[in-house]
Amino acid sequence: MAISDWEEHFKSIYDTEPDTYHRMVSAEDANGELAARLHDLSRGATRIVDIGAGTGRLTAPLCVAGVEVHAVDIAPAMLEVARTKLATCAGSWTTSVGDARRLPIADDWADAAIAGWVFGHLTEWYSDTWEEALGQAIAEMDRVVRPGGIEVVVDTLGTAATAPAPPTPALGRYHDALETMGFARTVLATDYEFSSINESIELLDWFFDLGDWARQHNNPVVPEFTGWWQRRR
């Protein structure tokens, strides 16, 4: 797909197919490396903002750990699914529809903020001005996190990949920008483990256009790498 096509593809999914999206991401992180990082984050924070929370794949484990979480996403349909997943968690939570560049949260409210798989979309949705948009989003993260708090960005380093690397040149420039801003990168293995080969083919084709890869490899386990970028406010 061309970049403009990917833009519409993802936006359509986030607006109209959140349940299928949640089914896919629920198969992610088979080795628990991302879960361990979230656990460590929750140990040092009382309040966390989840920026671009989607269906709550990061919000829910943080809430289960007993943290107060405020989940923000631009797609109301995604947050509707998140609320159903958060309904029985041990911690307290709230959700808001909002843009990462204009968070509906008070100054210094949070001990930590995490933005998972959201800022990378700026390179597609604002291809000519993504650096400005990223700067605005990071400035908002700075505003809502208290001095001394933790800021985390989580984003892709490749699905169905044999080694961690940005999937596109634009994402590579975005990753470089994060590191220029003082975010230190850790590479996590976040393989998908689907319930069957058929589910692997179905969901990889639906979201990533990787159905041919899934058919060729004929394995419900799909390798994936994810970057965890962290800095102190």
Q: What number of CA atoms fall less than 13 Å from residue 172's CA on the CB side?
A: 6
Strands laid side by side in the 184-189 sheet? 93-97, 68-73, 47-51, 110-116, 145-159, 224-232, 184-189
Amino acid identity of residue 32, one-letter, is G
Domains, the chain, in order of start with CATH, read 3-232 (3.40.50.150)
This prediction has a pTM of: 0.94
Tokens of 159: 């699905």
DSSP category for residue 183: P
45 with 112: CB under 8 angstroms? yes
Q: Is the pLDDT of residue 173 over 90?
A: yes
Instruction: Quote the strand ranges of the chain, DSSP E.
Output: 47-51, 68-73, 93-97, 110-116, 145-159, 184-189, 192-193, 221-222, 224-232
Calculate mean pLDDT across residues 210-233. 94
Tokens of 152: 């985390």
Distance, CA of 194 to CA of 27 (rounded, Å): 6
Q: What pLDDT was estimated at residue 2? A: 47
Calculate mean pLDDT across residues 60-81. 94
6: confidence class by pLDDT, cuts 50, 70, 90: low
The shares of helix, strand and coil residues in the chain, as percent rounded to the nearest 5, are: 45, 25, 30
Amino acid identity of residue 39, one-letter, is H
Q: What is the pLDDT of residues 121-144, one digit of tens each?
A: 999 888 889 999 999 999 999 999
CA dihedral 19, 24, 30, 36 (to 10 degrees): -50
Distance, CA of 233 to CA of 231 (rounded, Å): 6
1: confidence class by pLDDT, cuts 50, 70, 90: very low
Calculate mean pLDDT across residues 182-202. 96
